[in-house]
Chain A
Amino acid sequence: MLSAEEWGIVALSLKVGGIAVLATLPLAFALAWLLARRSFPGRVLLDGLVHLPLVLPPVVTGWLLLIAFGPFGPAGRWLESWFGVSLMFRWTGAALAAAIMALPLMVRAMRLSIEGIDRRLEGAARTLGAGRWHCFWTISLPLALPGVLAALVLGFARSIGEFGATITFVSNIPGETRTLPLAIYSALQVPGAEAMVTRLALLSVALSLGALVLSEWLVRRTHGGRRLRGD
């Protein structure tokens, strides 16, 4: 099956993708809520900014990250002086690149589910004595939950497939930033590594397909499953 090196690549990819979506989740949900529920000046601009990584060439996103988080970039200097941390050429940088690329997909999925909440149910909860926050935690969030889970799965799948922004921002360092797609790319440069390319590519297909199926199932599930169990 897989060699130790290949297992290391898979483990790194899962770590980078997992951290990326979990760290992005609160921000993505807040953005989705804001875009679904509030109207404010600059809403269209914010919407555009969130979606930008979806249409921008990934290499440009990576270059912008390099400028912002490099040793002389504003965010890079700030992280360095306050926390002594640098994201350059580190797996955390790969996670940041993956998070930025996954953000639009996550916001879209969550926004759809938030827009799908019947707001009259929230009104009913208020008349029953629920304040805004209680109403959010007990009514809105549970009703939006399938969309949130779908966003997590979809964002995760996007994260472990991230290539362009990652290689531009944190390069291709074995054991540190060489995730699945970068490893496939590297193996393609080496004569005789076709078998490795095939194994890693099949693994990529399986992971992505699994994530898509799971997220579709979660979206369809909404509350249909509970209804059936109630009968």
Chain B
Amino acid sequence: MAIDIDVEKRLGDRLIAARFSAGPGLTALFGPSGVGKTSILNMVAGLLRPDRGHIRIGARALFGDGIDLPPEARRIGYVFQDGRLFPHRRVRANLVYGHDLTDPAKRWMSLDEAVDFLGIGDLLGRWPASLSGGEAQRVAIGRALLRGPDCLLMDEPLSSLDAARRGDIMAVIERIRDELKLPILYVSHDRAEVDRLATSVIALDT
């Protein structure tokens, strides 16, 4: 399933423009900070409205030609840089938040499967504030997968982790790419990360 993106957005005096098509596997959006990589992900997720253009996943139009699906209708998993877990819900309640809102026919992973896949069985009763960076990022990935998304957006998911945890989470991302065969749009400014993870690379510069 290809992700087709052609968007333009003016933010202050910056013009963010991107046109590319991301195929299967992990597509890395690579470039220095400030070129609008996160803004592109936000436009795909529906959190930021492009000035013009279109966004499609396979045959499904998310934006363009008069269509502008709200974020809740896009079925796109988003893993944020800082995890962004809900502080007032325990890990289990965080994980099932999107799962419960998803049509059972569109789910492709159960809570137990996600917990096994990510090895987070011990964390279910904990509060997010008590998790380490690596644990929190695993839970955030699980929460996004349990939404049953068509593709996954990842915004520098390793940037807040130490070297050892980075390796762990990179292994998880490789398994999402290879075992779950979920298309991933991955934002990074780290060459080594991109070399290891990316199926294809889209270089962005100012």
Interface residues of A (CB under 8 A from B): 120-121, 123-131, 134, 138-139, 142-143, 223, 226-227, 229-231
Contact = CB atoms under 8 A, between A and B. Distances in A.
B183 interface: no
B30 interface: no
A227 B80 contact: no
Given A126-B46, A126-B70, A230-B129, A134 B77 contact: no
A126 B127 contact: no
Contacts of B143: 128
A188 B147 CA distance: 67
Interface of B: 45-47, 70-72, 74-78, 80, 84, 86-88, 90, 97-98, 101-102, 125-127, 129-130, 143-144, 147
Contacts of B125: 230
Contacts of B130: 227, 230-231
Contacts of B75: 129
Given A123-B47, A123-B71, A128 B127 contact: no
B86 A139 contact: yes
A72 to B, nearest CB: 51
B88 A120 contact: no
B129 A120 contact: no
A96 B47 CA distance: 42
B76 A129 contact: no
Given A124-B80, A223-B88, A131 B129 contact: no
Nearest to B126: A230
A145 to B, nearest CB: 8
Given A123-B71, A227-B130, A231-B130, A128 B90 contact: no
Contacts of A142: 88
Nearest to B140: A124
A128 B129 contact: no
B102 to A, nearest CB: 6
B134 to A, nearest CB: 17
